[in-house]
Structure 1
Amino acid sequence: MRLGRVATTGGPRWVRQAADGLIPVTDPFVAFAEGQEPEDAGPRIEGTVIAPVDPLVIVGIAQNGPAHVSPVQAWLKSPRTVTAGGVDVVLRRDAGGQVAEGEIAVVIGRPTRGLTAQTAHEYVLGVTAVNDLSSPERAAFDPRNFESKSGEGYTPLGPWIDTAAGIDDVRLQVEVDGRPVAETGSRQLPMSIRDCLAYVAAWSRLGPGDVVMTGAPHSQAPVGPGQIVTVRVAGIELVTAFV
């Protein structure tokens, strides 16, 4: 199932993507806690698709890899940087060059107390696409990633959560202006998604709607104003134009 949210006059509303349009559904996190899929909750509706979740926590994985002097690490990104696909993002002019980082994002379905690498899938609502936009030159002044990751709109997310894709074999593609720059996936990550989630959960409990960005060791590309980046995760297409 592909789940998302649309903006309505009454606030965001959960929907599923169907062949004939957008079908309202019940809260998927409540359903997940009960071991069920969300149920249809009305006839087809129309609306603007927005980011699929409002996470309280976004965790990034620094995929340092075997050649790096440090082990794989995690870091935090402000949830206020999240924006929907299709929304123009204004690149900062005071932060040096910009890099688009296409990543597989994991949406947590329930509190991660007890999560292990073996049971990680039991805590995941689904996966979606994320563009972890970065200003890497700022790392020379700020090694904690705050300045390099905190631009407004620097986390395009969505537009859909795929609840059936699993976490073990997820494809990832990145294009800039229609030109392929990366063809990779979860199997190419130096640290598996299961191990990433287990590492994070061992230090900090996550909850429904929180997001873990699983790293971009093979899916980065420099970008500038006027360019369009497409990130595909499990076939979900996230398109962002930069201005």
Structure 2
Amino acid sequence: MKLCRFSSGKEEKKGILENGKIKEVIGSFFTGFTVTTNEYDPDKVKLLPPVLPSKVVCVGRNYAEHAKELGNEVPEEPLIFLKPSTAVIGPEDGIIYPSASHEVHFEAELGVVIGKRCKAVTPDQAKNYILGFTCVNDVTARDIQKKENKFTRAKSFDTFCPIGPVIQTELNPLSVEVVSRLNGIIKQNGNTKNMIHNVYQLISFISNVMTLLPGDVIATGTPSGVGPMNVGDTIEVEVDGIGILKNYVKQ
């Protein structure tokens, strides 16, 4: 099932994307909903971020080849950091190139959407706390990251966390392709089977640090091939079975 949020006119709505149509639902993705008879053409509505997280928990260096391309060692434990909710944007939205940076990179990632309050769970229990999966672009001001050797400022600019286009509730996160395309050219082509710490291990590790709330998103790390974007570029993140998250780089 593909869950989405969208706007039709000035109204924000929720729906299920099915057979090329969006069927409007009433209720909550987290506590239950009812499917209505209202249908919308996806090309005639504005898709919104499929979820509004209280926080986005990101994982660094979770693919060995990506760590290698940046000259970093592979951490023994998951390397986690946060993106603020104010960084979140949806499909077709603009990524604003900040004046403070001269090297902004794309990072295609599988995102995990938490379905219910999650605290101190084991990897075996983790599956029960997942609502579904989405695409994430962990946009990064690489020059700032290198200069400060920190993640927060480099990762937290407004618009630096595109999420979407939908939440796919039926997906095997242990083996799925993660691709990025810059202006139509493939730049990253990885598979989650090459993660150092898999999705269930990440949920367990993070939930033993902080409580995860319904709607929180875990960005599970990016495969090798990251690179710079410039104003005017189009960047796409595609996760097999979910769809394509497309955004445009703007001044």
Q: Determine if the TM-score, normalized by the shorter chain, exceeds 0.5.
A: yes
CA offsets, 1:160-204, max 9 Å, x none? 000001322222111111111121121111211111111101111
The aligned residue for residue 55 of structure 1 is 53
Alpha carbon RMSD of aligned pairs, Å?
1.9
Query: What is the rounded CA distance, in whole Å, between the counterparts of 1:17 and 1:195 in structure 2?
Result: 30
Tell me, yes or no, if the aligned pair for 1:226 and 1:241 is still in contact at 8 Å. yes
The aligned residue for residue 45 of structure 1 is 40
Query: What is the rounded CA distance, in whole Å, between the counterparts of 1:161 and 1:219 in structure 2?
Result: 25
Asked if 1:30 is matched to 2:31, the reply is yes
The Cα of 1:123 is off from its aligned counterpart by: 0.7
State which drifts further: 123-132 or 57-66: 57-66
Query: What is the rounded CA distance, in whole Å, between the counterparts of 1:182 and 1:20 in structure 2?
Result: 27
Query: What is the rounded CA distance, in whole Å, between the counterparts of 1:141 and 1:184 in structure 2?
Result: 28
Q: Which has the higher strand share?
A: 2
Change (3 A) 1:195 1:45: same
Asked if 1:241 is matched to 2:248, the reply is yes
Mapping of 1:71-110 within 5 angstroms?
A: 71=76, 72-110=78-116
The Cα of 1:115 is off from its aligned counterpart by: 2.1
Query: What is the rounded CA distance, in whole Å, between the counterparts of 1:64 and 1:40 in structure 2?
Result: 38
The aligned residue for residue 17 of structure 1 is 17
Mapping of 1:1-243 within 5 angstroms?
A: 1-8=1-8, 11-25=11-25, 26-31=27-32, 38-45=33-40, 47-63=45-61, 68=73, 70-71=75-76, 72-235=78-241, 236-243=243-250
Unaligned 5+ residue runs, structure 2?
65-71
Unaligned 5+ residue runs, structure 1?
32-37
State which drifts further: 129-138 or 22-31: 22-31
Tell me, yes or no, if the aligned pair for 1:83 and 1:153 is still in contact at 8 Å. yes
Aligned residues: 237
TM-score, normalisation: structure 1? 0.90
Query: What is the rounded CA distance, in whole Å, between the counterparts of 1:96 and 1:20 in structure 2?
Result: 40
Query: What is the rounded CA distance, in whole Å, between the counterparts of 2:193 and 2:245 in structure 1?
Result: 21
Using the aligned pairs only, state the percent identity: 22
TM-score, normalisation: structure 2? 0.87
Query: What is the rounded CA distance, in whole Å, between the counterparts of 1:40 and 1:64 in structure 2?
Result: 38
CA offsets, 1:62-92, max 9 Å, x none? 1256671643211111110000110122211
Change (3 A) 1:182 1:69: closer
